[in-house]
């Protein structure tokens, strides 16, 4: 079967979705499940999902599937029927977005990767099936009512910064592969304590719980469905919400409001703010937090330099980008670099 891909430009696809009034629903899901032939699985999945109007980003590996998608709301039941008839997918949990207008994705990308989460684990004895115990929202609230319970956030700094659970501990790194050994080291003297791990949708904390068990920890839990599922259960069951601020999400929205608290600050002026943006200079595209005043003053840019670049003729902007590439061999305009600099020092 030939490789399948989108034949229409991303800009045109984005314009189509933004102008389409069809109601859409944003969903994320994952499953650690052996997939013997990822390429074949990928091609079959692409044909089926594109026929249902699904858009989004899906990773396939021999260890399973990881997906963030949107689809026409009217196709939701057909989508579930298709997924649940796949071998081993009948119990798949779908996380429905908390704040959503369905305009979260504009193309369908399904890629085969070595792993659905890059973890850096090379130990052949590591067993993903030996994972921590699930906790739902009610059990999470119960366990965290005890001060000796340890809550570990397995997300990156820029996710933690805008929102996290009360008393959660951050693992100070921006790559999951670095966080795993760091978490084991930080908790080395707590191998018998109750440890709850959480992340956005559950995929990272599930693997992290297995990693801690592999390292000899005894009482490891992970939040089923992550923050997204927790917030849904809190709302449905009328439970106390212990998540403060915004939940960072990896789509066009860049965040969904969970509580009214704003716990982060604008990276340019220091005012309370928790809106992530990408620098308007396409040659920079830095991910950072910007308040409304700075967005207006800097025209959506992260610095004076980038603001000046956006006012240059297109050819001079290209020259600026080429200069960055020469001076910074690892510079990549599509990579979201964090805290490159702050305008006010």
**What residues act catalytically?**
199
Sign of CA dihedral 251, 115, 216, 140: positive
Question: Which candidate, 256, 269, 281, places its Cα nearest to that of 345?
Answer: 269
Tokens of 294: 């700075």
> Could you give the 3-state DSSP secondary structure of residue 20?
coil
| C-alpha count within 13 angstroms, C-beta hemisphere, residue 198 | 32
Burial class (CB in 10 A: 0-12, 13-18, 19+), 149: middle
Question: How far is Cα 207 from Cα 54, in angstroms, rounded to an integer?
Answer: 27
CA angle 67, 200, 150 (to 5 degrees): 145
Distance separating alpha carbons of residues 101 and 74, to the nearest angstrom: 14
Q: Is the separation of the CB atoms in 186 and 150 below 8 Å?
A: no
Q: Which residue has the tokens 């366990």?
A: 143
For 21, the token pair is: 């009034």
């Amino acid at each position: 079967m030939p490789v399948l891909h989108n034949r229409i430009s991303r800009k045109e696809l984005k314009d189509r979705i933004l102008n389409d009034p069809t109601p859409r629903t944003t969903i994320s899901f994952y499953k650690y499940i052996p997939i013997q032939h990822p390429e074949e699985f990928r091609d079959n999945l692409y044909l089926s999902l594109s026929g249902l109007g699904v858009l989004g980003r899906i990773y396939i590996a021999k260890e399973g599937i990881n997906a963030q998608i949107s689809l026409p709301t009217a196709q939701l039941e057909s989508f579930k029927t298709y997924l649940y008839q796949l071998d081993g997918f009948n119990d798949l949990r779908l996380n429905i977005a908390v704040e959503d207008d369905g305009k979260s994705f504009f193309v369908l990308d399904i890629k085969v990767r070595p792993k659905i989460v890059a973890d850096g684990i090379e130990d052949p004895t590591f067993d993903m099936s030996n994972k921590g115990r699930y906790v739902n929202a009610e059990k999470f609230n119960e366990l965290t009512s005890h001060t000796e319970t340890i809550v570990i956030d397995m997300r990156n700094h820029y996710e933690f910064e805008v929102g996290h659970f009360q008393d959660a501990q951050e693992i100070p790194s921006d790559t999951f592969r670095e966080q795993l050994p760091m978490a084991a080291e930080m908790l080395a003297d707590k191998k018998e304590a109750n440890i709850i791990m959480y992340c956005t949708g559950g995929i990272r904390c599930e693997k992290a719980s297995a990693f801690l068990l592999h390292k000899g920890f005894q009482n490891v839990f992970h939040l089923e469905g992550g923050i997204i599922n927790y917030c849904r259960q809190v709302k449905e069951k009328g439970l106390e919400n212990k998540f403060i601020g915004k939940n960072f999400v990896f789509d066009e929205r860049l965040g969904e409001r969970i509580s009214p608290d704003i716990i982060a600050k604008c990276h340019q002026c220091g005012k309370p703010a928790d809106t992530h943006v990408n620098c308007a200079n396409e040659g920079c595209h830095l991910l950072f937090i910007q308040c409304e005043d700075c967005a207006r003053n800097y025209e959506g840019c992260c610095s004076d330099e980038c603001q000046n670049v956006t006012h240059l003729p297109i050819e001079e902007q290209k020259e600026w980008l080429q200069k960055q590439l020469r001076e910074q061999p690892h510079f990549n305009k599509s990579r979201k670099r964090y805290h490159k600099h702050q305008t006010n020092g």
